[in-house]
Structure 1
Amino acid sequence: MASRSLSLVPALVAAAAAIAVLGCAGERVGNGRGRGTVVIATAADADVLLPTLVQQLVAKQVVDQLFEPLAAPPASMSTVGDAGYEPRLAARWTWAPDSLSIAFAIDPRARWHDGRPVTSRDVRFSLELLKDPRVGAPLGESMSNVDSVSTPDSLTAVAWFARRSPEQFFTFVYNLPVVPEHLLAGVPRDKLGESPFARAPVGNGRFRFKRWERGKVIEVVADTANYRGRPSIDRVMWSVSPDPTAMWARLVNEEADVVEMLRGEPLAKVAASTTTRPVPYQGLDYAFVTFNTRARGRRQPPHPVLGSAAVRRALALGVDRQAIARNVFDTLAYLGIGPVVRAQWTADTAIAIPAHDAAAAMALLDSLGWRDLDGNGVREKGGRPLAFSLAVPTSSAPRRQASVLLQAQWKAIGADVTIEELEFNAFVERLMSGRFDAAMNGSHANPSPSDVRTMYGSDRTPDRQGGNFGGYASATVDALLDSAVHEFDAQRARSMYRRAYARIIADAAAVFLYEPRMVAGINNRIDPGTLPAVGWWIHLADWRIEPARRIARDRIPLDAPVAGGRGASPGDSAG
């Protein structure tokens, strides 16, 4: 193949020299040095800012501004071959005749934000880091087909593969975050998440890290000398809101510029606003209930209630997904179609997911010996009640609302469900440790359908760097997914993936609730261009604010000192 080239917003206060040019929050101002500030309101803080370890969506949004991949996938989200991929850190790449190696030519202009050049050694080091089990990288297992990276010279990184595979190019460039060897080589591999770098990273992207005040704000600023060109705006801030339901009000009041998902009354309010507008876009998000098939906090024995596939099927029959989607999103959600979203090329909207049937659910539980013997409304078997907890992150208002509906629906068939609300990081820790019964989970799907193997492969449990939090195991699913990821014929691969999806659904490994129809709220002064399905934030560096539409915070000079506090918003100024 040929070569191819997730309170009030902390204050953003200008330095004394800049105060004179600033007006009030919504005031349009004349000439000024700033090019724009975009404030993103978010309900959750980041987990870590070392891309090798990132699991949380807000963190992903931030590190994608700070770190460039070797190459960027096309808008079509094709994961087979390299057609349409755009150069990033790699100026071009060349396949070996046998396709078992790809030589990436590093752009000689690429620099880390401390001024050091990006080299092939950084690529080699990054792969070693990702694959090292001491690191515990969430995507480490994705590199199992990559043997190594060699460095014939400082600007050539050759990736060597164990075997040819349809997605080998995508897997390598999409899942490998390139990080600086000179800053991380001396950090113990099992302590990377606690390192200063994980809180204040040095990247190579079009934005550079400025600050992170935990629970308050993350700020990145333009890298004015970046080899790919200066961003069109000066800074981006992720501002954490203790009250997720109030985010839309901050948007309308111009305290924030972006809320990534709107629904119900907030959507109507934004649509009626003179300062903001709703912007539909295709997304990769979906929500589902994960059942823990193993004993809580252990990998063996089976869970006393949810370890039974038949019990899980009964619980799935007891869920009215249509009612949940309608109550939570009105018309702004599709029903879930399995461990896949409609934007992926393996999606099959015709896969049968059993419809809500409370009578059938109760009959199945009766047949399994789960009966309400004492008339208290809760079934039991062998002295054990049909009871379990449902963990839900407080950062997600839709999932919190859905959990209450689920609790009521399961009560109607005789299950006693306790809702356990957890701060997001605590929620993730519960999933990773297995210390949960069921969880209101959500996922931003990887463009590759092979990601389903990470979530449902028998050997992809968290202790093996996987995302199979519920410990689901099926030899049939394993075989289908293993065949699918190595199949070069797209039609045959699609068929295998769909058969795996059907089996996962039949085993009730999860209840696939809904796939939101994504609508963001964005301030009228901002031109975001097209929001890609792979991530609405991908092109933040190219968002534009025309000079005539800039407000006070847009005019804050890039080099001005920035302070943070809970008593003001970025729109506040001395004026």
Structure 2
Amino acid sequence: MRGRKRVAVEVVVGLALLVVSSLALAPLVGMAGAAEAGKVIRVGLWSAPGSLSAINADSSYGYFVVHFIYDSLVEMRPDMSFRPRLARSWEISADGRTYTFHLDPRATWHDGRPITAEDVRFTIETIATPGVQTNRGNAIKSIEGLDANGKKMGATIPGVRVIDAHTIAITTKTAVDPARFLEQFGTGVFVIPKHLLEGLSPEQLARADALLRPTVGSGPFRFVRYVTDQYVELERYDHYYRGPARVDRILIRIAPAPSIAAALINGEIDVVAGPGIGEVPLQDWELVKRAAHLRPVTEPSLGYQFLAINHARPYFQDVRVRRAIAMAVDVDLMVQQLYKGQAVRARGPFSPVTPYENRDLDPIPHDPAAARALLSQAGWERGRTVELLVPTGNTLREQTAAIIQANLQAVGMQVRIQRLDFPTVLSRVFSDDFDLVVLGWTDTFDPDHVSSTFRTGGQYNLSNFSDPEVDALIDAAAAERDPARRKELYDRLQVLFQERVPAVFLYYPNMLAAVNVRLVDADPSIVPFEFRASEWDVRP
């Protein structure tokens, strides 16, 4: 009887939680009833996408939607292999510098126009044009004729050559690891329609309807509508060159983290969006695992949470202050108490699921006494209060910020937390209007992602970190083709990161996801599963 009582209590508690959570789900219910005919899959996304531009979506939330609407040249599969997408085949020259892509001649835009090599060239040139608002520079920066941020250094780009309507050759500055180039460029550039955007100035591109309301894409689904802060509706493109998708519609619903478990259990969403943008909160994980109609999916993550320190602030330029911050923060407490062990402490910005993490390197120790001593040596002003920004919507991230605040105040640094919605936080960060901010970053499998995040002038160098020795090491590692030698260089880079403290690397949370058992081939993954959306299906 004791076991039955415990089960009964769990059921009652679970129902109570669902009732409370369902109140927060009110905006989800019935918002798209007219679109529910046919096979429909409803995906839960934590926060609203600020932009759906294929060249400048403002976050992972926006690019999640972009993946359904636009195609890249290749796609990465869960086994880390690369498969054809717009490019049905490709060859690499003997010197490792020229990649020749052969486009699928069946591919068309959603308005029926053919997709050609000129569209690919136009996309690269648009991204590379100074003044164009884009965050795809890191994807093309290795192309000959572009600078470290992927911008043109002359009137033309010598590394891009159209051979015929369906063939384009891309030449890199130096020979690079093919896996690096195919991941960065092949999967990271979403081809945009030249016939709709040609001739627009950078200012006009920033507000072009064809990018912000992308009714003409190239992927398996077409954009129908975006009801702000509620849902994005997509419909199948029946003439998709790889064959029409198996389902009729995708509804991407905005389901804040506190509501997402109830939405799954109540059947209001069928699957979550995945790492960092739509997961099951840890406190709801056991509840979701017990739901008979849901399949839990978990795996180690590519994404990490980190504390960005604004190096542009004079009071953070002394490395002793930054190291004091790192030593004050109790990351083990976060991993054990907040995540109940469902996270891995970060040694640096390289995921433990890749071979590039330096496993011989111990994390910076939690040592409040040493942190206080370093602040004293650096002459830290005891009366100064710094602001810690934290985006709302991710409960564990907000709790992480509270721990950081308490840890820093315990060593003599006064901290005021400012909670803001994600787009507002990003706006302030990109305007350098911050002291400290807790954010998440999703790595690529190739380690060169650090060139955009920690190299001087990198597109996502949110901390404004600059160090010539770090820059030289990042460049050398990026140009190295031998995996063993690259590993050595990145191991050294991680040692430098601990010495120079560009940011405080916190932890890699495990992905906690779930999918309705009636869905087929739609399990979330650390490799973006939305790339495979045309294969998703629903059992009768």
Task: Report the TM-score when normalising by structure 2.
Answer: 0.87
CA distance in 2, matches of 1:308, 1:207: 50
Paired AA for residue 142 in structure 2: N
Contact 1:281 1:531 in 2 (8 A): no
Contact 1:321 1:514 in 2 (8 A): yes
Paired AA for residue 119 in structure 2: D
The answer to whether the aligner puts 1:163 opposite 2:160 as a matched pair is no
Match of 1:46 among 24, 45, 49: 49
The answer to whether the aligner puts 1:523 opposite 2:523 as a matched pair is no
CA distance in 1, matches of 2:534, 2:398: 33
The answer to whether the aligner puts 1:89 opposite 2:86 as a matched pair is yes
The answer to whether the aligner puts 1:476 opposite 2:474 as a matched pair is no
Contact 1:217 1:238 in 2 (8 A): yes
Residues 41-440 of structure 1 mapped to structure 2, 5 A cutoff: 41-77=44-80, 84-147=81-144, 148-166=159-177, 167-201=180-214, 202-241=216-255, 243-259=256-272, 260=274, 261-294=279-312, 303-370=313-380, 380=382, 385-440=383-438
Contact 2:305 2:441 in 1 (8 A): yes
Give CA deviations for 1:450-485 in whole Å, capped at 9, x if unaligned.
Answer: 01011000132xxxxx11111111111111111101
CA distance in 2, matches of 1:264, 1:145: 39
178 and 161 in structure 1: CA distance in 2 versus 1, 3 angstrom threshold: same
387 and 349 in structure 1: CA distance in 2 versus 1, 3 angstrom threshold: farther
CA distance in 1, matches of 2:94, 2:100: 12
Contact 1:132 1:140 in 2 (8 A): no
Task: Report the TM-score when normalising by structure 1.
Answer: 0.82
Percent same amino acid among aligned pairs? 29
Residues 446-461 of structure 1 mapped to structure 2, 5 A cutoff: 446-460=444-458
CA distance in 1, matches of 2:141, 2:517: 45
Contact 1:263 1:329 in 2 (8 A): no
Question: Displacement of 1:500 after TM fit?
Answer: 0.9
CA distance in 2, matches of 1:229, 1:504: 47
- Specify which structure has the bigger relative contact order, considering alpha-carbon pairs within 8 angstroms and separated by 6 or more residues: 1
Question: Displacement of 1:530 after TM fit?
Answer: 5.3
Question: Displacement of 1:185 after TM fit?
Answer: 1.0
Give the structure 2 partner of residue 14 of structure 1.
34
Contact 1:289 1:441 in 2 (8 A): yes
Question: Displacement of 1:161 after TM fit?
Answer: 2.6
Residues 416-565 of structure 1 mapped to structure 2, 5 A cutoff: 416-460=414-458, 466-528=459-521, 531-547=524-540
User: Secondary structure of the equivalent of 2:316?
Assistant: coil
User: Secondary structure of the equivalent of 2:252?
Assistant: strand
CA distance in 2, matches of 1:85, 1:362: 49
Question: Displacement of 1:47 after TM fit?
Answer: 2.1
CA distance in 2, matches of 1:11, 1:469: 36
Question: Displacement of 1:435 after TM fit?
Answer: 0.6
The structure that is helix-richer by fraction is: 2
Give the structure 2 partner of residue 29 of structure 1.
none
User: Secondary structure of the equivalent of 2:447?
Assistant: coil
Give CA deviations for 1:160-216 in whole Å, capped at 9, x if unaligned.
Answer: 333322234443312222111001113322332322123321111111111111111
217 and 367 in structure 1: CA distance in 2 versus 1, 3 angstrom threshold: same
Contact 2:258 2:281 in 1 (8 A): no
Contact 2:358 2:494 in 1 (8 A): no
Paired AA for residue 176 in structure 1: V
Contact 1:457 1:468 in 2 (8 A): yes
CA distance in 2, matches of 1:170, 1:275: 35
CA distance in 2, matches of 1:342, 1:71: 25
Give CA deviations for 1:239-261 in whole Å, capped at 9, x if unaligned.
Answer: 113x4312211111111122332
Contact 2:174 2:479 in 1 (8 A): no
CA distance in 2, matches of 1:51, 1:470: 25
Contact 1:281 1:518 in 2 (8 A): yes
Contact 2:91 2:100 in 1 (8 A): yes
65 and 386 in structure 1: CA distance in 2 versus 1, 3 angstrom threshold: same
169 and 277 in structure 1: CA distance in 2 versus 1, 3 angstrom threshold: closer
Question: Displacement of 1:506 after TM fit?
Answer: 2.1
Long gaps (5+) in structure 2: 1-25, 145-158
Question: Displacement of 1:97 after TM fit?
Answer: 4.1
85 and 265 in structure 1: CA distance in 2 versus 1, 3 angstrom threshold: closer
Long gaps (5+) in structure 1: 1-6, 16-21, 23-32, 78-83, 295-302, 371-378, 461-465, 548-575
CA distance in 2, matches of 1:146, 1:115: 30
Contact 2:77 2:527 in 1 (8 A): no
390 and 163 in structure 1: CA distance in 2 versus 1, 3 angstrom threshold: same
Give CA deviations for 1:409-448 in whole Å, capped at 9, x if unaligned.
Answer: 1111111111111111111111111110011011111222
Contact 1:389 1:436 in 2 (8 A): yes
